[in-house]
Amino acid sequence: MSSRFDRTDRAILSALQRDGRTSNVTLSAAVNLSESACLRRVRQLEEAGVIARYVMLVNQAHVGYPSDVFVRISLNRQQGEDLAQFEAAVREVPEIMECYLMTGEADYLLRVIAADATDYERIHTRHLTRLPGVARVHSSFALRTVVKKTEVPVSSQPSASTRHA
């Protein structure tokens, strides 16, 4: 779909990523479209799955989770059923914010939020080590967030070497 984006689609996506609550009136003025044409474009982007959903971002520190912990998990086995069981269990732990199946030394990389080291110990003991098939858990506390983006760059085409077929 990315090759079919025009300048207007990119402007709409950029504006909505900055403020998903912007009104159609404001958005249409910002991208130089009529209100009906703008709404039609937004709906097309939604229907195509380019706009996956609208969310509100909560400052995790303000709600009691100032710590980010990156956790590398290795499983005993990497069979499809083992992976599926692990992934289903991970979805049930509220403090696990992200989970990625990885290549390399660890099978999974998780981003876990915690109030502090004591809270992380609770999460580690009650949840992480009890996930199905876990062989090893390696944790690293983030000292400081340097960059944390929510906007996907849509202002220009990716280069041919980074574009997916």
C-alpha pair distances (Å), 115 with each of 57, 69, 71, 107: 18, 10, 16, 26
- Give the pLDDT score at 4: 76
* Predicted local confidence at residue 158, as pLDDT: 57
Question: pLDDT digit of tens for each residue in the chain (165 aa)?
Answer: 445 789 999 999 999 999 999 999 999 999 999 999 999 999 999 999 999 999 999 999 999 999 999 999 999 999 999 999 999 999 999 999 999 999 999 999 999 999 999 999 999 999 999 999 999 999 999 999 999 999 999 976 655 444 554
Distances (CA, A) of 135 to 85, 87, 106, 113, 120: 14, 15, 10, 22, 19
Report the candidate in 42, 121, 35, 107 with the shortest Cα–Cα distance to residue 73.
107
Say how far apart CA 51 and CA 45 lie, in whole Å: 6
CATH number belonging to the domain at 2-47, selected among 3.30.70.2190, 2.40.30.30, 3.40.50.10490, 1.10.10.10: 1.10.10.10
pLDDT score recorded for residue 157: 61
Would you call 150 helix, strand, or coil by DSSP?
coil
Which helix H or strand E contains 71, and what residues bound it?
strand 67-75
Extract the tokens encoding 73.
Answer: 């998990």
Q: Are the C-beta atoms of 137 and 93 separated by less than 8 Å?
A: no
Tokens linked to 98: 């992200």
Domain ranges of the chain: 2-47, 60-141
pLDDT at 155: 74
**Domain made up of 60-141: CATH architecture:** 2-Layer Sandwich (3.30)
Write down the pLDDT at residue 159. 52
Are 71 and 112 spatial neighbours (Cβ–Cβ below 8 Å)? yes
CA distance linking residue 80 with residue 114, whole number of Å: 30
Does residue 125 contact residue 82 with C-beta atoms inside 8 Å?
no
Predicted pLDDT of residue 156: 66
